[in-house]
């Protein structure tokens, strides 16, 4: 079995770099890949990832995919109201 893989999906490059660095410091055994869009994730074997850290707007735009991955993703947002909206949709 290979290393656990985590995907970060966010158009904010600095947020992706910072989160990737934090995750790899906490769990150096994992591979962390970053994607600027859902299309980029989709083109790179999305089922391969153990967990997803995803911008809330991406989750809202691609509900069908993330409903199936419900326990496996964490929302990234700078705004609490958007997170509340996303949790309401999936609750």
**What pLDDT shows up at residue 44?**
95
Higher pLDDT, residue 57 or 90: 57
- CA separation for the pair 56, 52 (Å, rounded): 11
Given a cut of 70, whether residue 1 has pLDDT beyond it is no
Give 89's pLDDT tier (boundaries 50, 70, 90): very low
Do 34 and 54 meet the contact criterion of CB atoms below 8 Å apart? Answer: no
How large is the average pLDDT for residues 34-55? Answer: 92
Query: Whole-angstrom Cα distance, residue 3 to residue 23?
Result: 14
**CA distance linking residue 8 with residue 64, whole number of Å:** 18
Is there a contact between 74 and 53 (Cβ–Cβ < 8 Å)? yes
User: 79 pLDDT band (50/70/90 cuts)?
Assistant: low
């Amino acid at each position: 079995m290979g290393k656990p893989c985590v995907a970060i999906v966010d158009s904010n490059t600095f947020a992706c770099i910072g989160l990737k660095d934090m995750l790899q410091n906490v769990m150096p055994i994992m591979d962390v890949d970053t994607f600027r869009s859902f299309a980029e994730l989709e083109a790179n074997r999305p089922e391969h990832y153990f967990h997803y850290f995803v911008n809330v707007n991406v989750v809202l735009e691609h509900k069908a995919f993330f409903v199936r991955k419900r326990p496996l993703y964490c929302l990234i947002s700078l705004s609490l109201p958007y997170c509340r909206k996303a949790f309401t949709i999936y609750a």
